[in-house]
Amino acid sequence: MNLTLNLLVAASLVYVAILIVVAFLAERRAARGAAGWLRGPMVYTLSLSIYCTAWTFYGAVGYAARSGLEFMTIYLGPTLVFVGWWWLLRKLVRIGRAERITSIADILSSRYGKSNGLAVLVTVLAVTGTTPYIALQLQSVTLSFAVFAAPGTEPGDLTGLALWVAAGLALFTVLFGTRKLDVNERHDGIVSAIAVEAVVKLVALVAVGVFVVWGLNGGLAATGRAIATSPVAGWEAAPGRWAGLILVSAAAVICLPRMFQVLVVENADERHLVTASWAFPLYLMAMCIFVVPIAVTGLARLPAGSNPDLFVLTLPLAEGQDGLALLAFLGGFSSATSMVIVASVALATMISNHIVMPLWLAREADRRATISGDVRDLVLRARRLSILAVMAMGYLYFRVTGGSAALAAIGLIAFVGIAQVLPALAFGLFWTGATRLGAIAGVATGFALWAWTMLVPVLAEASSVVTSGPFGIGWLRPEAMFGLAGDPLLSALMVSVGLNTFVFCLVSLFTAPTPMEQLQAPRFVHVFDRAMAPRGRLSGPAGAEELMIMAQRILGATETQDIIAAEARLQGRPGDLPDVTPRLLEALERRLSGSVGAATAHAMVSGITGDAAVSVEDLMAVADETAQVMEYSARLEAQRAELTRTARELREANDKLTALGVQKDAFLSQVSHELRTPMTSIRAFAEILRSGEADAEESDRYAGIILEESRRLTRLLDDLLDLSVLESGQVVLTADEVRLADIIDRAVLAASGSGDAIAIEVSPDLEAICVRTDADRLSQVFINVITNAAKYCDAEAPKLRITMATREDMAVVDFVDNGSGIATRDRGLIFEKFSRLSDQAAAGSAGLGLAICREVMARLGGGIAYLPGQDGAAFRVHVPLAGRVADAAE
């Protein structure tokens, strides 16, 4: 068999075709729900083998040929991580499943309060670290093709081939990486394909190893002797480098985006980790076991100057084992392709979830539209474009750098770069006090230092910045930061990861976590002992229908309806839309975050529900809203109280009106009665007089009665008129300054002429009191009170005592007689119209006197009241003073 380039291309194509068939069949099986062993522990373990890229397949031998056993550190680190799964991986996988984590950026974003800023930072870091790595794979494929090319063909002539490889890989990845938007972000097709690739590369490497040990060296013992006499027989690793490399590789196996993808995201069952804890180290060991023999044999047998990175390929070829060489080629090809495929899926997930979707959501939010259009399509499109972009970047990096550095160098640079995520991740899983700002500061610090100390020297190899530091500042020289001019890799590692961790812890200690972080941190740190209590949500106005429509755009109709229906069943109302409970929101958000990442999913659900438990600002907005609602309700309360008051007033007014109506009726009937009685007697006597039957004396008497009754009528009518004028307020009162004593004298004089005898005693003190009032009206009141006393005082020797006094700005006149007084129950009635307490001496009284008095006193700005607690009936009249007591005038 003669291996030509065309044959290799054909073999590669056939191999790829087989992979496509495998992936396709696996997807179909999974779609039928019969994933079975496809999601079993063995496939899981094999998929983890993407840790072993072309760097392992070709590079490990080259590494061993240069530095002896040091290459093993790259596999010892992961071994420690996996046998120590109880510490970190168990937690990582549990969280990954519980929170539906989609990527390494997503887990950090979720842990630190769903911070998208952190996710973007990690995404950028991952892309920066992975792009050279993808370039490395393209380079290894190109180099391996070049081995078979006709003599004289430069590897540079084959860059076109690299483009085809990149394009082909992009196509495959788009085909199987974005076929559907799986809520679990699981890619059965890809996982199966890389499991097959894992077997191919292991078989290839072991086959070459077996051929070398038993075919070329003649057994284990002979190989041992060959090692002992080889250039790498001695231990060459500098002190500390061994431990440092183990640390870096241990960090990388956790944090590399592609490793995180297969380890956490594609994990179908937590228990697979238990199998992987021994099976994956076993795989790594198998990959390593023949590396040193191949390296040693290559060094011994191949001409000096041969590229040790290609010994796996060139050794069988040189020995005429074309079939084995083809297998080795396919092994290398599969190592490279599986890495590129998974890495680009992982990166594309991060880019679309943390950069494209948030941008798109922000743009939509600007438009003030809720989610419109098919987001599902958009996510897939974003992901496809991201895959193409990642692949294009890898290819461009390969073209631009021309693959200058040795494979191992680029591999280690990428490892240290991604190790910058480890402090934030590891502390975040065990320390609730780790904050978002701390994580951002730490990762940013580490990222910057790593880029400066490791990337710059590779990209700008011989520039002055690298050789003598920026602006000639020696201690900033990338390869000897802070004057640490030891092993460049170790010093870069210690400076970047060390300061990263330090800054992370420091900032975390000095910053307060946001409410969202406070919610998220325990979910991560205490993932094993929490009861998964659903997070309290502010009940928003979101309808289940709105949520369903939104979720459908991302999860698809069937999936969404399943969730909704399940929730409805749980709520005991199958066939109906469920209420929007925190549990439903939680479930939806978790599913969505499986497709678009935690931050985006949270933003989308929050956007619909108005769920605002995100930030202090949002909480403040909610508080503000609450305050507004409270104010509004307070206003409503006030309005209600006012209405109640108005209603009460209306009711009172109504009552009063009713009472007044009754009073009016009573009044009218009183008035007619009062008018009727004298009219009756006038009529009767007038008739007698007309009939002429009465004699002169009788006539005289009758005429007298008629006259008296007419007077009484007139008086009654006068009183009524007076009262109505007073009550309607039409009365005109004059206001003069008069001596109170004068008015009283006048009243006493007038009253004494009315007939009823009563001894009146006016107390002489304070006769100089002057009042400002209408003298006639006031004397009318006094006369009325005096005549009443004369009329009703039932003492044998009736006596009325009138006293005067001043109280503040009022003159007070008391009329006290020595009668039996007025009963308590009647005191309220005496000022009412037509109220006569008894008929005994009622002649000539219509009962209007005191009512008129009250009205008059009210008009005069004073008052009249019954004065209880005296010997007899007592009335007290208040009159406004004239301003001062007129004592001085005396």
Partner 1 sequence: MTDRVSPAASAAQHRARRRARVADAARLLPLLGVVLFLMPDLILSGADAGEGATAPWLVYLFSAWLLLLVLSFLIGHFYRRDVAPEDGR
Q: Does 270 bind partner 1 (CB under 8 A)?
A: yes
> Residues in contact with partner 1, total (CB under 8 A)?
42
Q: Closest Cα partner for 507 from 444, 599, 451, 418?
A: 444
- Under 8 Å between Cβ of 686 and 679: no
Of 778, 736, 731, the residue nearest 879 (C-alpha): 778
Considering the complex, what minimum distance in angstroms separates the CB of residue 222 from partner 1?
Answer: 12
Rounded to a whole number of angstroms, the minimum distance from the CB of residue 531 to partner 1 is 10
Q: Which two tokens stand for residue 657?
A: 């009106």
| Residue span binding partner 1 (CB under 8 A) among the ranges 49-57, 148-156, 276-284, 575-583 | 276-284
Enter the tokens of residue 57: 């397949």
Long-range contacts of 851-857 (CB under 8 A, 24+ apart): 851/723, 852/719, 852/722, 852/723, 852/726, 852/780, 852/784, 853/780, 853/781, 853/784, 853/785, 855/723, 855/726, 855/727, 856/726, 856/777, 856/778, 856/780, 856/781, 857/781
Pick from 22, 42, 80, 885: which binds partner 1 (CB under 8 A)?
A: 80
- For the stretch 634-646, what's the b/e string if a residue is b when 16 or more beta carbons lie within 10 angstroms of its beta carbon? eeeeeeeeeeeee
Structural tokens at position 384: 């496809």
Using the minimum distance from each CB to partner 1, give the nearer residue, 122 or 296: 296
242 sits near partner 1 (criterion: CB under 8 A): yes
Q: How far is the CB of 637 from partner 1 (least distance, A)?
A: 50
Q: Is 42 in the site for partner 1 (CB under 8 A)?
A: no
CB 788 within 8 A of CB 872: no
Residue number with CB closer to partner 1 (529 or 890): 529
H helix count then E strand count, the chain: 35, 7
C-alpha dist (Å) from residue 725 to 7, 577, 717, 848, 861: 130, 76, 12, 13, 17
Pick the closer one to partner 1 by CB: 138 or 232: 232
User: Per CB under 8 A, does 243 bind partner 1?
Assistant: yes
From 8, 69, 252, 599, residue interacting with partner 1 (rule: CB under 8 A): 69
Q: Which residues, in sequence order, are bridge partners of residue 772? A: 737
- Which residue in 240, 522, 755, 883 binds partner 1 (CB under 8 A)? 240
Element (H, E) at 346: helix 322-351
3-state secondary structure of 874: strand
Pair 95, 527: CB distance under 8 Å: yes
Closest CA to 313 of 525, 700, 8, 674: 8
Residue 653 contacts partner 1 per CB under 8 A: no
CB of 530 to partner 1, least distance (A): 10
Q: Does 79 bind partner 1 (CB under 8 A)?
A: yes
Q: How far is the CB of 386 from partner 1 (least distance, A)?
A: 35
Residue number with CB closer to partner 1 (285 or 557): 285
Site for partner 1 contains 524 (CB under 8 A): no
Packing angle of the helix pair 291-301, 60-67 (nearest 10 deg): 70
∠ Cα 849 854 855 (to 5°): 100
Contacting residue, 83, 369, 686, 707, with partner 1 by CB under 8 A = 83
Interface with partner 1 (CB under 8 A), residue from 8, 38, 52, 76: 76
Residue (of 515, 592, 530) closest to 115 by Cα position: 515
Q: How far is the CB of 505 from partner 1 (least distance, A)?
A: 23
Of 285-293, 511-519, 769-777, 822-830, the window that binds partner 1 (rule: CB under 8 A) is: 285-293
Residue 445 in the binding site for partner 1 (CB under 8 A): no
Instruction: Provide the mask over 16-35, with x wherever binding to partner 1 is found by CB under 8 A and - wherever it is not.
Output: --------------------
CB of 270 to partner 1, least distance (A): 7
Which SS3 state, helix, strand or coil, does residue 318 take?
A: helix
- List the x/- string, 809-848, binding to partner 1 by CB under 8 A: ----------------------------------------
Interface residue with partner 1 among 57, 82, 211, 260 (CB under 8 A) is: 82
Residue 751 within binding range of partner 1, rule CB under 8 A: no
Contact residue for partner 1 among 84, 373, 474, 704 (CB under 8 A):
84
Q: How far is the CB of 76 from partner 1 (least distance, A)?
A: 5
238 near partner 1 (CB under 8 A): yes
CA dist., res. 740 & res. 879, Å (int): 9
DSSP 577-602: PPP--HHHHHHHHHHHHHHH-HHHHH
User: Which of 237, 570, 619, 688 is in the footprint of partner 1 by CB under 8 A?
Assistant: 237
**Could you tell me what percentage of the chain is helix, strand and coil, using 3-state DSSP and rounding each to the nearest 5?**
70, 5, 25
Q: If binding is defined by CB under 8 A, does position 882 make contact with partner 1? A: no
Stretch that binds partner 1, among 1-9, 49-57, 284-292, 335-343 (CB under 8 A): 284-292
Q: Which of residues 291-320 bind partner 1 (CB under 8 A)?
A: 292
Name which position in 87, 502, 510, 632 contacts partner 1 (CB under 8 A). Answer: 87
Q: Which is nearer to partner 1, 69 or 716 (CB)?
A: 69
Measured CA to CA, the distance from residue 446 to residue 125 in angstroms comes to 10
**Nearest-angstrom CA–CA distance, 268 and 31:** 15
Site for partner 1 in 206-235 (CB under 8 A): 224, 227-228, 230, 232-235
Among 14, 285, 620, 757, interactor with partner 1 by CB under 8 A = 285
**Site of interaction with partner 1 (CB under 8 A):** 68-69, 72, 76, 79-87, 224, 227-228, 230, 232-243, 246, 270-271, 274-275, 277-278, 281-282, 285, 288-289, 292
